[in-house]
Structure 1
Amino acid sequence: MRAALEELARRAAPQKLIGLVTEDWGRRYGRAARLGKNPTRPRTRIKDTGEDANLLLRYVRIRMPELWDGPQIQALRQIFLQNYWIDSRDRVQWRVPGEAGLPPSSIAIVSPYDLTARYARRAGTRWRGYLAHVTETCDEGTVRIITDVTTTRATVNDSRSLPEIHTRLKQRGLLPSEHLVDGGYTSVELRDRAARDHQVDLVGPVKAKATRRSRKGNVFTRDAFTIDWDHQKVTCPQGNTSPTWLTSPSLAPYVQVNFSKRDCRDCPIKTQCTRSAARLLTFLPHDLHELQTAARAEQQTREWKMRYAKRAGIESTISEFVQGHGMRQCRYRSQDKAHVQHVLTAIAVNIERINVQLTSAPERHPRPPTALQGFLDWQYIPRQRSWRATG
């Protein structure tokens, strides 16, 4: 609302705003609003803002059609449609989550000034904007150099960015033979794709299959079932075989098998297997399944853990970007311009690191004594050499 009113105040004649902008609007939108986690009267604020936005959009559409295409007016229109709806009695209603269809984070507009910025949440971190993926070298005895920075929307999964990173590194002749990545970039499919397309050994933790076993302690995991790849059959611990083997495109690259409801109903240990009418299993095709099994076994070894420990160095790099260069404070609008900022920041980090290696540390000289300290020394009167010393 404030951004739209600022645009109208710049573009429209002042007389056209008389009667529209009231004292209430002056109090609500006359200055930037900074609401805390628990703002006062939230329902009243939501109701008033929705009615004000609806009134402003109708007013501009009818009285000032020449300004209807303004970027802030159009941003207000989209944000209004995403957060409010008009009922049969022409009343503005807030879209309550789970009832009236609030848009997902991937399309929800969070800024009237940058319509491509998105809201995201990772663990305890929440932000509005974009996501930066940083790649650096980690060879022993050499300067760690940033080789790539990729900027994506905040809602894009990390794994979707990895193929693009590898392609760009290959184009610049910087593709590594081994790539240590976070768990968010790791999957069996990506490991296989990186090895096939770029001959890159992708090193990262492959997550274990999440089942009720971790909570109940008495549920058969997928490893308890025997898979016959040649005949496309799966045998359960009780000796029953699955009648179906589904490999439809909607499940790719996974295979899904269902056991018979009759077999599961009469099974004496059904409670240790499933709470549904019949057990369902989903697993990767043969070659990827073996790769997944081998990867999970390998990452339990001491050698793999020592090899993967190098990846911890990227955390200090992220801290250097954030604390030293303010990378999380975007200075521009739009994803393309934010990417320029990220690239320039990476260049600055590289220059600093190389400069430290090329320039020897300056010789440090002790601070000369003050007049009083000089007098004490001249009189051989003992004094403390450091403020940290205790009397």
Structure 2
Amino acid sequence: MSVQPQPWPQPDPQIAAAVRMMYSGRREAPLAVQVRDRLGELFPDAAFADGFGRAGKPGWSPGRLALVTVLQKAASLTDRQAADEVRENLSWKYALGLALKDPGFDHSVLSEFRSRVVAHGMEERVLDLLLERLRELGLVAAGGNQRTDSTHIVAAVRDLNRLELVGESVRAALNALAAACPDWVDQALVVEDWSRRYADRIDTWRLPSSKTKQDELALHYAKDGYLLLEALYAPVSPAWLRELPAVQTLRIVLVQNYTRTPGGGGRLRIRRRERAEDGGDGLPPGPIRLASPYDTDARWSAKRDLFWNGFKLHVSETCHPQVEGDRPARPNIITNVATTASTLPDTKALEPIHQALDRRRLLPNRHYLDSGYPSAELIVGSAKAYGVALITPVLLDTSRQAKAQEGFAAHDFIIDWDNQQAVCPAGKTSTTWNDVVQEGVAKTVVSFAALDCIPCPSKDQCTNARSNRRRLSLQPRELTEAIQAARARRQTGDWNRDYALRAGVEGTIRQATHTTGLRRARYRGLAKIHLDHTTSATALNLIRVAAWWNGPPSTAPTTATSPGSNSPSLHDSWN
């Protein structure tokens, strides 16, 4: 399929007249009409040309397919329903510049379009284009305030326990091999026996209830899996079959869940891996442990009382202090969405978020976050690298004294960084100052003399160490001072009132999950899911901007015509 970038056609006069009559007076125009009138050719074909060939049969305009995808998310439609809207809905025809008799396209075109976008790394293109347009209109800009929070996303696959996972992995590999090379399957396997065991999906309801029989079945699945791999890696088997994704997934699942050790008679003994505390060989850590053979990016994760299989979504948006009875000068705009593995800590996601905002020239001055995001390194690094102040309740001191609120915590000591000394609350000066590396992190260990600590009347409040001396483990000076300053600011009433601005991001996440259905992934694979998230963020931004456009007339923005058009837009005629 080829694409020759062309300007979008102007709305058909017949359709424009009909829409003008339907939405004249006080009636609010549909989102599609407002987007075309206010923003014009929002997604030009040239922005997507890299994902399409220059020769071959001409395809549908990728820019207009992008707009269809965004409108589809705004209305929470399936592909088939969106294709029907293109054929039947006058407002969509108006926005796309289609003639009244235009037949539209088959719904499968939308899936092909998304696949091309993902294949060429353009998952964020629609959001980038909208944000750039809004930046030109002055509706979003660098500086000011932004807030970020994360939420869980459930994968579009069935939840599997370990027994089901292994059986489904064998079944998925067999199905892939039967589709790719049925002749090899007929020659290498006893098809009747394998079909009887793996014809139906592996389901808990069909499995034996006895724990002993389940353990036996788990080893049986493993033996079948290893037997299948041995046949694939035999010299007479085509080498390309081993590279099938389902086969590679089977290999990983077997390695993560079983061990093979030499046994009697030259045989290999197969055993299930168990948790290390149970005396087994240990399961792999959560970030690399596969949860489904059908989506190898999905991971099991837990947060407090929530346990899910899927991903995590981080949403960043602009925010303005709300003045009662007044409307903000700009709408709140989603500036970034980041889709990550569910096991990735929020702290690890903050730097990529700032990088994305920097690329879009939308870095804030103040970034409001919950306590899961910050660290001393990020507080200092964000200010240095991006000029962003993190407004966040940093984690409190976790030492025994601080948690008990009794005795002397680290912040009760006076640290003299220049002279490399510390003075305790009793007035004693430290005797050693050593720079060390603890678990890969640079620290400074400060120790006091035992002769000072033993007779001290406050010793019980200070330390119970066997060495009878107090030690402090300090981060580098810049980090220590930054975290102490952040903790001190948190104790003020002004900080608490200011930090209340962060709470609004919870409403944004609710709007995203309820309007566009983001809670459950519609696709498989991190890249496709991220495309769905950026498209949804673009749709939410259009909904918000349209609501802001339709605010009180006294504060409504000036009218605009469609770029490249010499004729007034429908918006002009309505105002």
Rounded to whole Å, the distance in 1 between the matches of 2:515 and 2:311 is: 19
Matching residue's letter, 1:78: I
State how 1:24-63 maps to structure 2 within 5 Å.
26-27=196-197, 30-33=200-203, 41=211, 42-62=214-234
Matches within 5 A, 1:198-347: 198-213=386-401, 218-237=406-425, 241-248=429-436, 252-259=441-448, 270-278=459-467, 279-347=470-538
User: Is 1:6 the counterpart of 2:187 in the alignment?
Assistant: no
CA distance in 2, matches of 1:62, 1:298: 67
- The reply to whether residue 165 of structure 1 matches residue 337 of structure 2 is no
Normalized against structure 1, the TM-score is what?
0.80
Aligned to 2:315: 134
Post-superposition offset of 1:313:
0.9
1:162: how far off? 1.7
Once the two structures are overlaid, the 10-residue window that deviates more, 101-110 or 218-227, is 218-227
8 Å CA contact 1:245–1:256 kept in 2: the answer is yes
Counterparts of 1:28 and 1:257, CA distance in 2: 63
1:16 corresponds, among 187, 190, 208, to: 187
> SS in structure 1 opposite 2:262?
coil
2:246 pairs, out of 48, 66, 72, with 72
Q: What secondary structure is seen at the aligned counterpart in 2 of 1:56?
A: helix
CA distance in 1, matches of 2:186, 2:497: 72
Give the AA of the match of 1:186.
P
- In structure 2, give the amino acid aligned to 1:138: C
Among candidates 185, 189, 193, match of residue 377 of structure 2? 189
CA contact (8 A) 2:338 2:530 kept: yes
Whole-angstrom CA distance in 1 between matches of 2:450 and 2:300: 43
Q: Which amino acid aligns with 1:50?
A: A
Q: Take 2:463 and 2:355, find their aligned partners in 1: how far apart are those partners?
A: 43
Residue 299 of structure 1, CA deviation: 1.2
Distance 2:251 2:359 in 1: 42
Q: CA RMSD in A?
A: 3.1
Greater displacement, 250-259 / 346-355 = 250-259
Cα deviation for residue 263 of structure 1 reads 6.2
| Residues 43 and 271 of structure 1: CA distance in aligned 2, closer, same or farther (over 3 Å) | farther
State which drifts further: 193-202 or 343-352.
193-202
Paired residues of 2:317 and 2:505 also in contact (CA < 8 A): yes
Q: Would you say the 8 A contact 1:264–1:277 is kept in 2?
A: no
Provide the aligned length of Structure 1 versus Structure 2: 359
Which residue number in structure 2 is paired with residue 111 of structure 1? 292
Shift of 1:64: 6.7
* Worse-matched range after superposition: 109-118 or 185-194: 109-118
Distance in 2 between the 1:287 and 1:70 partners?
51
Shift of 1:238: 5.3
Q: CA deviation at 1:210?
A: 0.9
Partner of 2:567: none
Residue 273 of structure 2 corresponds to which residue in structure 1? Answer: 95
Q: CA 1:242–1:22 in structure 2 vs 1: closer, same or farther (change >3 Å)?
A: farther
Distance 1:96 1:342 in 2: 36
Give the Å deviation of 1:312: 0.8
Opposite residue 91 of structure 1, the aligned amino acid is R
Match of 1:143 in 2: 331
1:340-359 correspondence runs (5 A) = 340-359=531-550
Distance 1:222 1:214, change over 3 A: closer
Corresponding residue for 2:11? none
Paired residue secondary structure (2:504): helix
Deviation per residue, 1:253-277 (Å, 9 max, x gap) = 5322344567667767655444443
Match of 1:381 in 2: none
Deviation at 1:198, TM superposition (A): 1.9
Secondary structure, in 3 states, of the residue corresponding to 1:256?
A: strand
Code of the residue aligned with 1:77 in structure 2: it is R
Report the counterpart of residue 561 of structure 2 in structure 1.
none
Question: What amino acid maps onto 1:347 in structure 2?
Answer: T
Q: What percent identity do the matched residue pairs reach?
A: 35
Q: Secondary structure at the match of 1:332?
A: coil
Alpha-carbon deviation of 1:46? 3.1
SS in 2 for 1:113: coil
Note if contact 1:84-1:93 (Cα within 8 Å) is conserved in structure 2: yes
Matched residue, 1:125: 306
C-alpha displacement of 1:6: 1.2
Mapped to 2, the partners of 1:344 and 1:244 lie a distance apart of 57
Q: Distance in 1 between matches of 2:501 and 2:205?
A: 42
CA distance in structure 2 between the partners assigned to 1:260 and 1:177 by the alignment = 45
SS of corresponding position for 2:243: coil
Residues in 2 aligned to 1:214 and 1:35: alpha-carbon distance in whole angstroms: 51
CA contact (8 A) 1:132 1:150 kept: yes
Shifted more, 68-77 versus 246-255: the winner is: 246-255
Alignment of 1:178 with 2:363, yes or no, is: no
Out of 245-254 and 112-121, give the one that drifted further. Answer: 245-254
The residue identity in structure 2 corresponding to 1:212 is R
Question: Alignment partner of 1:148: what SS?
Answer: strand
C-alpha displacement of 1:92? 0.9
Residue type matched to 1:304 in 2? W
